[in-house]
A and B are shown apart, each in its own frame.
Chain A
Amino acid sequence: MANQKPSTAIEAVESGLAAQGYIASRQIATAVYLSQQIEKPILVEGPAGVGKTELAKAIAAWRGLKMIRLQCYEGLDEAKALYEWKYAKQLLYTQILKDKLGEVLGGAQTLHAALDQLHTFGDVFFSKEFVEPRPLLQALEQPGGCVLLIDEIDKSDAEFESLLLEILSDFQVTLPELGTISAIAPPTVILTSNSERDLGDALKRRCLHLHIGFPEQRLEERIVESRVPGISQNLRRQMVGFIHEIRTLDLKKLPSVSETIDWARVLVLLQAGELDTEMVKDTLNVLLKYEADIEAALPQVTTFIAKAARHNVFG
């Protein structure tokens, strides 16, 4: 890989992802290539539904690695993300081993001697046996490496971000009772964010920053082609053109790639040959998720279909 020319390597990434049904732009492919080469996480930002999470899945499928997903939410903490002690098991074992403990400590004459003997056991109850690994620790313990997806990092608290820093820069975590655990094979880390809040500079600094916006018309057609093979070329052009027109409107939530794909599936199901006003009006709720948005778009439908068709002729 190292002596391969970078541009061919990037193309290889592109075609590898394409084989998994993920059509990547050049920039995305470069980011994936670089993250592999310099072992840095990728921070993916962009509107909802442009395929940020899909990217991680595609990478995992392409490289044949396991994907470990950590969904972030407000209040997520160490115990749920990193590791937790198996309290119940610890308690159970102390109960079971009670007699054994008594035996061991039986020889001791004084309290002091008993304590000394107890110390010689070391931290039996705080050993790896009793650690319940959560996604982050699991990711570090995968022998063949894995793809770690930290989804919607912007939803988590600022404290959690700081927790991630050690993992992101050195691929290791420090557990107070066990010491530092390093990754067996550095995982490929993908973080996604919807820019709900600004992430800290420290986190951003450790990542490659990739912004995925709405794709260009050609790229989006290719995406639909790979995801919904049953759709005719003519209809595909029209519907993607239509969606691009819709995106010029000032809406609360613009339709993104996932909506495009859903709509393509719906159109195939309805066995549409080409876009017509009635059908579009009936299925507009697939594209637009707010009542106000639908109302804003409805009067424009006919114009947009005409525009999309015209674009089709010339483009």
Chain B
Amino acid sequence: MRENLHRFFRAARGVGVHVSPAESIDAMRAVSQVGFSDRDVLRDTLLLTLAKSQDEKLALGDCFDLFFSQPEPQQEQPANDDNAPQEDNQDNQPPSSEGSSDASSGEPQESLGPLAQMLLSQDRNALAAALANASSAASLSDIRYSTQRGIFSTRILDAMGLQRLRDDLDNLAATNPSLAERLRAALDGLREAVRDTVSQGLALYAREEAENLRNEILRNAPLARIEPRQVEQMRNLIRQIARRLRERYSKPRKRQRRGHLDVRRTLRRNAAWGGIPFLTAWKRKHRDRPKIVAICDVSGSVAKVSDFFLLLIHSLHEVVDDVHSFAFSSHLIEVSDILESKTPDAAMAEIMSKVGFGSSDYGSSLEDFEHDFMSLLTPQTTVIVLGDARSNNLDPRADILKRISERSKRLVWLNPEGRLAWGFGDSEMPRYATFCTVVRQCATAQQLERAVSDIVATYQ
């Protein structure tokens, strides 16, 4: 059963519950207290010791049900398959023992391999145990991809002694055809049971790896060119990134004892001891709350990147609560309220219907910004511009960008295009870049995460 628990831990990791060795030890201790007899108690126990949040509890509960439901269908599987032969058995056996001779039916039985004997005697428990042993011998918990199903089935069957069974079948076919027929039927049942076991194993253990692989590919895929079916996955990924950034940055770290002695507070604190400074108080470093103004190009291919960027920046409430977002192509509007009040899909649709699909005009959009929203900028503000800086040969108005840069703490330009393309054709990137604190390429989820992470980190 210990073995089973270990496999359950692996399965738990598969559904995304973090199980460290220490936690598995705790869970083992807890389980040894409650025992295996009462399934509900066992379930509660594992949920208590392993899961660390409500989401994890749900996931782990499902995993538990799947995992421990395994033995039952397995036992029924041979039972169902065996039921039919069993009736045959009743019909066949008596005549064979009465009609021919006791010796002839007894002898082949003894010469058969253990698997064949097990199948013939319909020892369900022994079969289930043998199947479980063979699964662990074939290290079924290492299964990762659905394409491995065949090889694992073969391995399990080999471990159970299929070779010997084949020999037995060949022998029996000559000597005792009816017995061979029964054995063949039982073997088919066994194959089915093995196939089910492997599928179950795949569902239990492979999820983690497949998810990781998919996410890895997704993280490095260009945001502008992902397929519609991947949009939802990408949204999930962005949410994960947001959660990670939140966890990293939402706990304010105190920067104490870095600066100078705070004389006033020290004296006040030590008034009780006649001003003798037993306890020292230090000046704390003042930290700015993050203030972000995001200006996003929503024309053409940049739109999708802007979509994900806005989703990310607006899911960081705990870290940055002061975000103003603007979208533009030919002119510029504020979109913060739309993003706050609607679902990502609806918000993006509304934004696109208002300003999207135009040919981008950076000059007039910057003019709009300077005219209406310049007062938002304070020395604590980080301005993020997301766009390809392709202004269709219109006046880029870099002078406005210069003023924006002067009024704010930092000006970060995120460009979805590769560096090679900057400055070619109608790209005004080099001209804008002179006024930016940082210019970076931002085409994939990974680059997006790094860019936002760096921006937030400057406020820590």
Instruction: Name A residues whose Cβ lies closer than 8 Å to a Cβ of B.
Output: 6-7, 10, 26-27, 30-31, 33-34, 37-38, 40, 45, 87-88, 91, 157-159, 197-198, 201, 204-205, 208-211
Contact = CB atoms under 8 A, between A and B. Distances in A.
Contacts of A204: 52
Contacts of B246: 198
A198 B56 CA distance: 14
Given A87-B273, A201-B18, A38 B48 contact: no
A205 B53 contact: no
Nearest to B318: A197
Which 9 residue pairs spanning A and B have beta carbons closest together?
Answer: A6-B34, A30-B44, A37-B33, A204-B52, A208-B48, A158-B251, A38-B29, A27-B44, A7-B38
Contacts of B181: none
Contacts of A158: 251, 253
Contact of B41 (A6, A37, A91, A205): A6
A33 B318 CA distance: 37
A33 to B, nearest CB: 8
A201 to B, nearest CB: 7
A294 B250 CA distance: 32
A197 B251 contact: yes
Given A31-B48, A88-B272, A209-B52, A26 B40 contact: yes
A45 B4 CA distance: 30
A6 B38 contact: yes
Contacts of B33: 6, 34, 37-38
Question: Main secondary structure on chain A at its contact with chain B?
Answer: helix
A241 B263 CA distance: 61
A201 B272 contact: no
Interface in B19-68: 20, 22-23, 26, 29-30, 33-35, 37-38, 40-41, 44-45, 47-49, 51-54, 57
Given A6-B34, A37-B30, A209-B53, A87 B278 contact: yes
B51 A91 contact: no
A34 B251 contact: no
A198 B247 contact: yes
A38 B54 contact: no
A87 B246 CA distance: 41
B42 to A, nearest CB: 9
A31 B26 CA distance: 13
A30 B45 contact: yes
Interface residues of B, number: 34
A199 B57 CA distance: 16
A158 B250 CA distance: 11
Interface in B324-380: none
Contacts of B49: 34, 208-209
A210 B49 CA distance: 9
Nearest to B270: A87
Nearest to A39: B29
A40 B273 contact: no
A198 B45 CA distance: 23
Contacts of B37: 6-7
B53 to A, nearest CB: 7
Contacts of B254: 157, 159
Contacts of A27: 44, 47-48
B52 to A, nearest CB: 4
A157 B256 CA distance: 14
A210 B53 CA distance: 9
B26 to A, nearest CB: 7
B23 A205 contact: yes
B425 to A, nearest CB: 46
Contacts of A88: 272
Nearest to B250: A197
Contact of A34 (B34, B52, B318): B34
Given A37-B30, A91-B273, A201-B18, A7 B41 contact: yes
B393 to A, nearest CB: 50
15 contacts: A7-B37, A7-B41, A10-B41, A27-B47, A30-B34, A30-B44, A30-B45, A34-B45, A40-B26, A45-B54, A87-B273, A88-B272, A157-B254, A198-B250, A209-B57
Contacts of A210: 48
Contacts of A87: 272-273, 278
A201 B26 contact: no
A267 B41 CA distance: 38
Given A87-B273, A157-B254, 7 more contacts: A6-B41, A31-B48, A34-B34, A87-B278, A205-B20, A208-B30, A210-B48
Given A204-B52, A208-B49, A209-B52, A26 B44 contact: yes
A279 B272 CA distance: 57
A159 B309 CA distance: 32
A24 B249 CA distance: 37
Interface string B88-100: 0000000000000
Interface in B118-154: none
B381 to A, nearest CB: 25
Nearest to B54: A211
Nearest to B274: A91
Contacts of A211: 53-54, 57
Given A87-B278, A201-B52, A30 B41 contact: yes
Contacts of A30: 34, 41, 44-45, 48
A87 B54 CA distance: 46
Contacts of B48: 27, 30-31, 34, 208-210
Contacts of B250: 197-198
A205 B53 CA distance: 11
Q: Which of B18, B29, B45, B318 has the most CB of A within 10 A?
A: B45
Contacts of B45: 30, 34
Interface in B268-283: 272-273, 278
Nearest to B279: A87
A192 B146 CA distance: 43
B272 to A, nearest CB: 7
B5 to A, nearest CB: 15
A292 B61 CA distance: 36
Nearest to A29: B44
Contacts of B247: 198
B330 to A, nearest CB: 38
B14 to A, nearest CB: 19
Contacts of B253: 158
Nearest to B34: A6
Contacts of A10: 41
A126 B317 CA distance: 47
Contacts of B20: 205
B335 to A, nearest CB: 25
Contacts of A209: 48-49, 51-53, 57
B31 to A, nearest CB: 10
Contacts of B54: 45, 211
Nearest to A46: B54
Contacts of A201: 18, 52
